[in-house]
Structure 1
C-alpha cells in the first residue's frame, strides 16, 4: 500500500508539473519556451517583431560590432534560427556610423522592411531598408535597398498598406511626423506635403510643445492613427493621440482638430503603444508616473480606449482608462496586441529600483479592462529567464493563440542578446466559418463553392476587389457591415456562379459567418484571380449576318472567352 500511495502522489505531482495553462512557457519553443541569440561583440537589442505567413518569426533591432548595425534574425516556428535566411539566420547591415533598427514589417511578397534611424557623426536620419525574403538587400528599393528620409530624424513604426505603400511614423524637429513611400522606396508626393506630414502640437495651454510619435496603426478606412507623448514646460509630459486622413492631413473629425492630449493625473504620462480593434475602437498603451522615490520616478501601466471618433469609451475601465500596478515601483508598457476574442495583452518591464531588478512581464485584460484571472498569476506573468536584466519591446499573438514576446536579456556572461519567449495562450476555439473553393475560373466568370462548418447557422458572401472594398468601406464603417449589405445570405453549402468580372484581376470572396447563438465571427476572405484576356485556349468568334440588302449587310461578331480583344 505504501508503494501504491507513493505512485498516486507522484502521478499527481507529474500532472501538476506538466499541466499547461494560459501564460505558461511553451515547452515546444526553444528551450522551455525561451530563445536567447548572441549577435555582435557584446550587445544586441531587439526592438520589433513580425510573423510571416508561414509562421516564421522575425526580430529586428541592432547589434554592436564596434559600431551598431541594423540587425535581423529569423526563427522557425520551433524557435530555431532559420538557416535559409542571411547567414545562419542573421543579417547585419552597415549604413552609417551607428544604425538602429526599430520597426520590422513583412510585405505580401515576402520582402522585409526594417526601419529606424542612423547617425552619420553629426545628425540622425530616418532610414528604411528592404530585404528579399532570404535576407539580401533588395536592389529594386531605394538605392541598393536603402532610403534615408532627411526630413525625419527617427522612425518608431513602419506599416505596410494594402497597395504595397509604406507609412512610417516618428518625429522631426520634435514634432509628430509621418512619411509615405511608394513600393519602390521613392517618396509618395501625393501624401501630405510632398510625401511628409509634420504636425506641431499644442499643449493644454495652447502653447507650442514638443511631440513624439511612438506607434502608428491603420484603420480599415485607411486613416492613420498615431500615439505618443507631448512635452511642454507647463504641462510636462502628457499622452498624445492624432488621426490623419489617408492622404496625410489631420482629420478634423477626430477629437478636437484632429488630435488630443491626455493628462492621466500623473506627473508624467507617456503613450508608447497603439492597436486598433476590429470594431474601430482605439487602444493606447503607456504609463503614468504616480510618485518619485528618492529621485527615481515610479510608474503604473496605463491603457486608454477611445471610440473611433476620439471620445473615451466608457465601457472600458473607468471612463475609458485603466491602470495596472504590477510592482510597487515601476510598470512600463512597451507594446500591446489584441486577441481575436477582444482581450488585450501587453508587455513591458517591471522594475524594483531599490533591489536593482529589471524583469519582463505579460499582462492580459478582458475587453472591459478588468484583469483576466485565467492568465498567469491573477492576469499577468513575470519573467526573469536568466536571473538578469531583461526588457521586452514587442508582443504578438499567433494565429493559434500562443503569445510571442521579443526583446533583449543579459546572458549569464553579462552580454545583451536578442530574446524571444513564447507563452501558451488559450486553447484554440473553433468559430463559425465558411470554406471557399473555386472552379471553372475564366476571364470574366468563375464558380465559388461555399461550405459552412457545423458551427455556422448562416453566412453572407460577396466578391470584390480590394479597391472596391476600400471605396465602399467609409460608407459602412466596417468590412462586416459592408459584406452583409452587399452580399448574398445563405445557410447551407452552395456553388455560386459569378459573372461580369474583369479579366486578369485579383478578387476576394469576403464572408461573414454567424453561429447558432448569434455570435458573429470576424470577416474572412479568400483570394482568386481571373484569367488574362486571351486565355490559354483558342480565340474564336461567331459571325452572324442579317438584314442583307443589295448595298449593305448587318454583321454581329461574338468573341469567345479566350479572345483578348
Structure 2
C-alpha cells in the first residue's frame, strides 16, 4: 500500500480526484440501471412507450407502439435487452393494415404476457385489442387461435383499451374508451381463451356515459373486492372535471359509490382531467390528474375518496384535494399514480418549462402533503434528451424502486425507461457518493484513514485523529457522501472532516465513558451525532433536522447498542443486544412500540443490516468461532445461516455493490485481506491494509 507521511500530502491525495456523484436519496435515479438510471429502446423507427410491468424474476416488460404496430420489449433487471425474448429482446405484432397501439401490460401467473390497446380494422374501425405472448416472446396460439383478439363496441366507432386488469379468477377486464357521436367510458371482460364473458353485462361489454356530454377515459384499477374503478374526464357543464365510475363485478354501476356509481370532482373553474387511479388497502381511492388554473398553464392534482365515493375531507390535502406546480408557471400534466407500501403517493407525468418537456414526479405523504424527503422538495424532473420526454406509466419493483416508462424524443421518438430510488439509503461507508460502500481502514498509530474509492478504484488517504479516538464515519453534512469523523471519548468532542471541501468542524456532545452511536434517527438523510451512556443506559441524540436533542432511557447494564432501521420508516431505531441472554430489544420509531426477540449467544457479534433488501434491517449475528452468519428475515421472522469467513476474521458487512442490500463480508487481519460476498456482483477478494489496521465497516460492531 502507498505510504504517505504528512497530513498535507495525505489530504492532497484525498482531494486530488474530486467526483460529483449523486447519492441514492429518495427520488434519485438508480445507477445500477444502465449506469445512469435511464434506458432507451429503439426499434429502428418511431416508437412510443405506454405500459410497463415487472416479472417475478425482476425482468421488465415495456409495451407501446412501433411503426403503428404493438411493440413489446423485455429488459433484464440491469436495463439491457433480454435476448431470450424473441432473440433480440423486442417483438412487434400487427393486427391489421391500420395503426395498432399497445397501452397496457400485465404478467400472468404462468409467465405469459398480456398486452392490451387498440387495433384499426377495415370492417369495424378502431377496436379494443389484446394479445397474449409466451414467455419467449412468441404469440400464444391457445388464445383465440392466433394469440390475438379484438372487441368491437359498434361499427366504425373509435375504441381503445387503455388498461388491462386481471381478476382473481383469471378473467381479463379491459377498460377504455369508445368514441362515436360522443365519448364514453367502456369496459369488456374476456375469458382466458379470449372469448367474451357473457356474465359481464350479458354480452361481455358495457358502455358508461358519465355525463350527457363527452367523457374521456384514461385509467382503471381493481379494488380488493374486484369492483372496477374507471377514471378520466367528464363534462357536466362547459368545462371538464374528474370523472370516477365504479362498476360491480357483473358490469353494472355500483350504487354504493355516491348513490349512482358516478362521481365528478371539480378543482377549479377551468378544465380538469383524471389520468391515474390507485386503491389503498383500506378501500380509499386516490385519483390523480391535471387541473388548469388561471395563474399557471396546468398543475398536478390529486383527490382521495372514501370507499363510499365521498371526498376524504379530513386527512388529505385541503378538503380532500391537493395540487402542485413545478416552478409556479410551468405547464404540468399527470400520467399515472403509484402507491408505496408505507402509504406515500408518487404521481408521475411531465413538466413543460419554457418549451422543454421532461419526465416529472411528485411524492406526497399519506395525508397529501409534499414529501420533503423526496429529492428535498417533493419534486423530481428527469431529462432524456433535448426534446420532449413524456412519461406514461409507473410500477414498483419488489425491492421498492420505481420504474417509469414513456417516450423520449432524440429527433425521433423512442421508448424511455427510468428507475428511481424511493428511499434514502444513507449507505454506510460510502465516501464517494456512488451508492456503494468502500473498502477502507484506519491506521491507529498514525491516525490515517485509507480507502479504495469504488467509483474509480482510486486509493485515497487522510490523516485525522489519534489512536485513542472512536471512529464515527457518516454523512453528517447531507451531501450523500460519508464524512471522515471521530469521537474523542475523554472529552466527548466530535470531529468531522467535510467530504465537500476537506475542512473540518468539531463540537461537544457526550462525556467520558459514552459510546458513540451515530445514525439517521430523524430520517432527513443526515447522520445524527448520538451517544449511549452505559452507566445510566441513556441515549442522547442530536437531531440534525431541527437541532433538538432526544433523550431516552433504553436498555440495562451490560447491553450493547445496535441502532438500525428495523421497521422500515427511514429512521434508525434505538436498539440493544443483551449478550447475557442473546436478546435483541428495539424501540420502533414508527410507532413507539418496543419489540424483543432472542437470537444469538453471548460470544456472537451483532451485525444488523438489510440483507434481504426489503427496506428493513434484519437482526443478524456473526459467530467468530466458526465464521457462520445467522440472519433473521424481517419479512417473516424465518432465519437462514451460512459460512463466510473463518475463526479470527472480523465481520465487515456493508453494501459493496450498491444494490440496496447489506453484503456479508469479512476482513482477515493476518493477511489484510477482504472477502466480500456481494449479493449482486458476486464474491470479491481484495488485499487492502496492513498489520494492526482497523477495517472501517467494523467500527460500529460492539
Post-superposition shift, 1:329? 2.5
Q: Give the whole-Å Cα distance in 2 for the aligned partners of 1:430 and 1:387.
A: 43
Contact (CA 8 Å) 1:56, 1:77: kept in 2 or not? Answer: yes
Post-superposition shift, 1:31? 3.3
Match of 2:209 in 1: 200
SS in 2 for 1:3: helix
Match of 1:187 in 2: 196
Post-superposition shift, 1:395? 1.2
Q: For the structure 1 residues 18 and 390, does the alpha-carbon distance in structure 2 shift closer, same or farther, using more than 3 Å as the test?
A: closer
Match of 2:225 in 1: 221
SS in 1 for 2:235: strand
Q: Give the whole-Å Cα distance in 2 for the aligned partners of 1:18 and 1:291.
A: 37
Residue by residue over 1:417-466, the C-alpha shift from the partner in whole angstroms, topping out at 9 and shown as x without a partner, is 1111111221586559xxxxxxxxxxxxxxxxxxxx98999xxxxxxxxx
Q: Does 1:123 align with 2:135?
A: no
Match of 1:150 in 2: 152
Post-superposition shift, 1:339? 0.6
Contact (CA 8 Å) 1:179, 1:196: kept in 2 or not? Answer: yes
Post-superposition shift, 1:9? 4.1
Contact (CA 8 Å) 1:104, 1:112: kept in 2 or not? Answer: yes
Residue by residue over 1:536-556, the C-alpha shift from the partner in whole angstroms, topping out at 9 and shown as x without a partner, is xxxxxxxxxxxxxxxxxxxxx
Q: Give the whole-Å Cα distance in 2 for the aligned partners of 1:335 and 1:381.
A: 15
Residue by residue over 1:270-307, the C-alpha shift from the partner in whole angstroms, topping out at 9 and shown as x without a partner, is 011101011111000101011388xxxx1111011111
Match of 1:406 in 2: 405
Q: Give the whole-Å Cα distance in 2 for the aligned partners of 1:292 and 1:142.
A: 52
Post-superposition shift, 1:244? 1.0
Contact (CA 8 Å) 2:239, 2:269: kept in 1 or not? Answer: no
TM-score normalized with structure 2 length: 0.58
Match of 1:423 in 2: 420
Post-superposition shift, 1:18? 5.1
Q: Give the whole-Å Cα distance in 2 for the aligned partners of 1:197 and 1:261.
A: 20
Residue by residue over 1:142-182, the C-alpha shift from the partner in whole angstroms, topping out at 9 and shown as x without a partner, is 23011110117111110111111000111224211111101
Which of 162, 165, 169 is 2:171 aligned to?
Answer: 165
SS in 2 for 1:236: coil
Q: Give the whole-Å Cα distance in 1 for the aligned partners of 2:128 and 2:412.
A: 28
Greater share of residues in helix: 1
In the TM superposition, what are the counterparts of 1:338-349 in structure 2 within 5 Å? 338-349=339-350
Give unpaired runs (5+ residues) of structure 2.
1-6, 426-564, 569-582, 588-595, 599-617, 619-633, 639-702
Q: Give the whole-Å Cα distance in 2 for the aligned partners of 1:8 and 1:523.
A: 40
Match of 1:552 in 2: none
Q: For the structure 1 residues 395 and 266, does the alpha-carbon distance in structure 2 shift closer, same or farther, using more than 3 Å as the test?
A: farther
SS in 1 for 2:298: strand
Post-superposition shift, 1:380? 1.3
Q: For the structure 1 residues 69 and 4, does the alpha-carbon distance in structure 2 shift closer, same or farther, using more than 3 Å as the test?
A: same
Shift >6 Å, 4+ stretches: 453-457
Q: For the structure 1 residues 139 and 237, does the alpha-carbon distance in structure 2 shift closer, same or farther, using more than 3 Å as the test?
A: same
Q: Does 1:44 align with 2:47?
A: yes
Residue by residue over 1:7-29, the C-alpha shift from the partner in whole angstroms, topping out at 9 and shown as x without a partner, is 44458x54x62532111221111
Contact (CA 8 Å) 1:25, 1:33: kept in 2 or not? Answer: yes
Residue by residue over 1:507-557, the C-alpha shift from the partner in whole angstroms, topping out at 9 and shown as x without a partner, is xxxxxxxx9xxxxxx999x9xxxxxxxxxxxxxxxxxxxxxxxxxxxxxxx
SS in 1 for 2:21: helix
Q: For the structure 1 residues 18 and 200, does the alpha-carbon distance in structure 2 shift closer, same or farther, using more than 3 Å as the test?
A: closer
Contact (CA 8 Å) 2:22, 2:28: kept in 1 or not? Answer: no
In the TM superposition, what are the counterparts of 1:96-115 in structure 2 within 5 Å? 96=96, 97-115=98-116
Residue by residue over 1:283-340, the C-alpha shift from the partner in whole angstroms, topping out at 9 and shown as x without a partner, is 00101011388xxxx1111011111111111210001100000131311010110111
Contact (CA 8 Å) 2:335, 2:392: kept in 1 or not? Answer: yes
Contact (CA 8 Å) 1:266, 1:288: kept in 2 or not? Answer: no
Q: For the structure 1 residues 240 and 18, does the alpha-carbon distance in structure 2 shift closer, same or farther, using more than 3 Å as the test?
A: closer
Match of 1:258 in 2: 261
Contact (CA 8 Å) 2:51, 2:64: kept in 1 or not? Answer: yes
Q: For the structure 1 residues 455 and 115, does the alpha-carbon distance in structure 2 shift closer, same or farther, using more than 3 Å as the test?
A: farther
Post-superposition shift, 1:251? 0.6
Post-superposition shift, 1:119? 1.6
Q: Does 1:312 align with 2:350?
A: no
Q: Does 1:321 align with 2:330?
A: no
Contact (CA 8 Å) 2:384, 2:416: kept in 1 or not? Answer: no
Q: Give the whole-Å Cα distance in 2 for the aligned partners of 1:99 and 1:222.
A: 29
TM-score normalized with structure 1 length: 0.71
Q: For the structure 1 residues 492 and 189, does the alpha-carbon distance in structure 2 shift closer, same or farther, using more than 3 Å as the test?
A: farther
Contact (CA 8 Å) 1:106, 1:160: kept in 2 or not? Answer: no
Residue by residue over 1:45-100, the C-alpha shift from the partner in whole angstroms, topping out at 9 and shown as x without a partner, is 01010111111111010101xxx110000001000111111231001001121101
Q: Give the whole-Å Cα distance in 2 for the aligned partners of 1:33 and 1:111.
A: 27
Contact (CA 8 Å) 1:115, 1:155: kept in 2 or not? Answer: yes
Q: Which has the larger radius of gyration?
A: 2
Which of 154, 176, 183 is 2:185 aligned to?
Answer: 176
Q: Does 1:86 align with 2:90?
A: no
Q: Give the whole-Å Cα distance in 2 for the aligned partners of 1:492 and 1:186.
A: 54
Contact (CA 8 Å) 1:312, 1:319: kept in 2 or not? Answer: yes
Contact (CA 8 Å) 1:270, 1:287: kept in 2 or not? Answer: yes
SS in 2 for 1:82: coil
SS in 2 for 1:391: strand
Post-superposition shift, 1:266? 3.7
Contact (CA 8 Å) 2:184, 2:216: kept in 1 or not? Answer: yes
Q: For the structure 1 residues 356 and 304, does the alpha-carbon distance in structure 2 shift closer, same or farther, using more than 3 Å as the test?
A: same
Contact (CA 8 Å) 2:584, 2:597: kept in 1 or not? Answer: no
Q: Give the whole-Å Cα distance in 1 for the aligned partners of 2:121 and 2:270.
A: 35
Contact (CA 8 Å) 2:585, 2:597: kept in 1 or not? Answer: no
Contact (CA 8 Å) 2:356, 2:386: kept in 1 or not? Answer: no
